[in-house]
Amino acid sequence: MKQKQFGSLRAPLSDFENAKYVVLPVPFESSNPAFKGSEKGPEALIDASANINLYDIHTESEAYKAGIHTLEALKERSAEKMIKEVQAKTLSLLKKKKFPAIIGGEHAVAIGAFKAFSDYFKDKDFSILHFDAHLAMCAEAEGGKYHHDCVMKFASEQAPVVHAGVRSMSAGEAEKTEPGRVYYGHNMLDSSNKTWMYEFLNKLSGNVFITIDLDVLDPSLMPAVATPEPGGLQWEGFIEILTRVSEKTNIAGVCIAGLIPIKYNKAPNFIAAQLLYKILTLKYISGLK
């Protein structure tokens, strides 16, 4: 079956050669029962994107005109093989001056991208921005080292990491938390204190890879995740943060993961699709550096 295209775009706007943005669906799902349904997330997001308006009213722009190509889904059951394939495909896209947009599946799909971006930027000014309800910095968890709770340990081995929206971590993670690198959900939601924003932005490098576990959003907005946590980010606040990041840095790529579609509630699928397109829009208006 021919791969569906993000936004239901047709040629020439969906042609790989013309596209500035390339979407890589990675419907990876481990054997952990908590994440059952993750493999359906990428397709649900792409299906929803066919019904969103591609004119952005806030920026008065149409990012799709830069071209968006959606690659065939990377279907691999082995975590090790999946990570290697994501790494290879992402690095290839970067070398071709494409903007990689990876959509999972479980958050482990981002691990290969961390290495690819690190290899591409090498000694250049590069960092990873992590939006998640969980710190995800465990050395190992039940189910192996590629577990949901361990993903960002791999990121920290490749580049400086800034964590945002965190509301949950283990005692072991708390003991090892690097001061000033974690921005907690309750502080980010405190409208009386915006000093964290200045500090947060100054922690980022010139080039940034953004990785998003959708449970960073509040469950009232995004219930379709495996491990929801109360007190999450709301839409307007999250978009404001992403806008500031795009103004301060060069967003070099993005990974959005963690969507587990709910049969009788398609709203989360649309929110995930809108989030991805908003990030492409922010990249578009910044000039596709």
Q: Provide, for the chain, the percentages of residues in helix, strand and coil under a 3-state DSSP scheme, each rounded to the nearest 5.
A: 40, 20, 40
Within-domain flag for 145: yes
In a domain, 194, yes or no: yes
Model-wide pTM > 0.85: yes
Specify the number of domains making up the chain.
1
Whether residue 1 is contained in a domain is answered as no
The answer to whether position 169 is within a domain reads yes
Q: Which of 256, 251, 240 is nearest to 107 (CA)?
A: 256
Each residue's pLDDT tens digit in the chain (289 positions)?
Answer: 688 999 999 999 999 999 999 999 999 988 676 788 899 999 999 999 999 999 999 999 999 999 999 999 999 989 999 999 999 999 999 999 999 999 999 999 999 999 999 999 987 799 999 999 999 887 665 556 666 677 888 888 999 999 999 999 988 888 878 888 999 999 999 888 888 999 999 999 999 999 999 999 999 999 999 999 999 999 999 999 999 999 999 999 999 999 999 999 999 999 999 999 999 999 999 885 4
Decide if 105 is inside a domain. yes
Q: Which amino acid is at 253?
A: G
Domain that holds residue 49: 6-285
Cβ 214 vs Cβ 258: under 8 Å: yes
Please check whether residue 201 lies inside any domain of the structure.
Answer: yes
Residue type, 200: F
Q: CATH no. for residue 112?
A: 3.40.800.10
Q: Which stretches of the chain are DSSP H helices?
A: 41-49, 79-95, 110-121, 151-156, 171-176, 185-188, 195-202, 235-248, 267-285
- The whole-number pLDDT of residue 148 equals 65
| Residue written as token pair 């999450």 | 232
**Residue 156: inside a domain:** yes
Establish if 256 belongs to a structural domain. yes
